[in-house]
């Protein structure tokens, strides 16, 4: 296997090793082999503003799971919980069969194993890209994981080439376009060859060509064995880059879960989740003016 091929494979040595103390058995209803098993997750910002209210979720290897919901519904917060960036006030999260807690993620061996297997691409690339040059940005995670300078250099060169941004290696990230920054942010995660990729609003603020490039990349990564979980309210990409959709209500609970086609066909569900709106307008039919209602995606059309 070439280095470039290894960057999109999902071979890993084994599950994270837990620190002593924070243990809990998997829930009895957890499906065998699940990557993530979340039960009863509750989280509030500043202990006042609810973001998750009793969320259960299982993610199986090889899935492409779209978390759908209006702004503020909790989908981005759930991604942060899955990545161990925030911790629920109630409920449990198991990853790779082991409990994820703040205490476990303070254990050096555990956190190194967990971070090598789960990568997060933020919505705003400016919050993720901070090094003086693109090359240093992409190398940062490998060096933090203790990889040698030579292996890091080879991985960086390969991932920059794979994403078509080798010519940006010595540029300062702040000089790049939004689409270029997104590619650098993805490269900085992909270079560590994680088993799971989490994306927060991956197509937001990208031009159409960059959106299509990213959609095709996600499909390629999934075909190579990566498990993908992403938050979005963009209904147009679902049938291309989702095998399952999980719909959040505006009161921070899960309304439904199912294949993209079934979710997109359920107008009542999409309306209740505030993902589309009723809009009355006029069409011409055989020369006659006919007024009726369509469901429209917020910020775009959904016919």
> What is the reported pLDDT for 8?
57
C-alpha–C-alpha distance, residues 233 and 199, integer Å: 13
Neighbours of 129 (CB within 10 A): 23
> What is the reported pLDDT for 7?
58
Whether residue 24 contacts residue 91, with contact meaning beta carbons closer than 8 Å, is answered with: no
> What is the reported pLDDT for 179?
86
Q: What is the 3-state secondary structure (H, E, C) of 90-107?
A: EEEEEECCEECCCCHHHC
What are the residue ranges in the chain where pLDDT is below 70? 1-22, 279-303
Nearest to 250 by CA among 227, 233, 226: 233
> What is the reported pLDDT for 144?
85
- Homologous superfamily of the 3-265 domain (CATH): P-loop containing nucleotide triphosphate hydrolases (3.40.50.300)
> What is the reported pLDDT for 127?
76
Domain boundaries, the chain: 3-265, 267-303
pLDDT digits (tens, 9 = 90+) for 68-97: 999 999 999 999 999 999 999 999 999 999
> What is the reported pLDDT for 78?
98
> What is the reported pLDDT for 203?
86
Maximum C-alpha span of the chain: 75
What pTM does this model have?
0.86
DSSP string for residues in 206-275:
--HHHHHHHHHHHHHHHHTT-EEEEEE--GGGHHHH-SEEEEEPTTSSEEEEE-HHHHHH-HHHHHHTTS
């Amino acid at each position: 296997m070439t280095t470039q091929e290894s960057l999109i494979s999902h071979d890993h040595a084994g599950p994270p090793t837990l620190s002593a103390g924070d243990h809990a058995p998997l829930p009895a209803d957890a499906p065998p082999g699940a990557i993530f098993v979340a039960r009863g997750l509750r989280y509030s910002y500043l202990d006042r503003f609810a973001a998750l209210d009793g969320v259960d979720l299982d993610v199986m290897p090889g899935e492409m799971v779209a978390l759908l919901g209006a702004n503020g519904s909790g989908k981005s917060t759930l991604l942060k919980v899955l990545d161990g960036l925030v911790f629920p006030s109630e409920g449990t999260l198991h990853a790779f069969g082991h409990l994820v807690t703040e205490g476990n993620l303070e254990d050096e061996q555990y956190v190194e194993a967990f971070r090598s297997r789960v990568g997060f691409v933020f919505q705003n690339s400016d919050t993720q890209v901070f090094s003086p040059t693109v090359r240093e940005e992409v190398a940062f995670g490998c060096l933090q994981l203790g990889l040698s300078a030579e292996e890091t250099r080879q991985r960086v060169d390969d991932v920059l080439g794979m994403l078509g941004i080798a010519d940006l290696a010595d540029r300062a990230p702040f000089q790049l376009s939004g689409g270029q920054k997104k590619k650098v942010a993805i490269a900085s995660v992909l270079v560590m060859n994680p088993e799971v990729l989490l994306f927060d609003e991956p197509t937001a603020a990208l031009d159409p060509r960059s959106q299509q490039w990213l959609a095709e990349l996600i499909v390629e990564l999934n075909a190579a064995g990566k498990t993908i979980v992403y938050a979005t309210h963009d209904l147009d990409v679902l049938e291309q880059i989702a095998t399952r959709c999980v719909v959040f209500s505006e009161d921070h609970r899960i309304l439904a879960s199912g294949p993209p086609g079934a979710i997109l066909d359920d107008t009542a569900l999409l309306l209740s989740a505030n993902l589309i709106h009723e809009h009355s307008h006029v069409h011409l039919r055989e020369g006659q003016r006919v007024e009726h209602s369509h469901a429209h995606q917020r910020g775009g059309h959904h016919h």
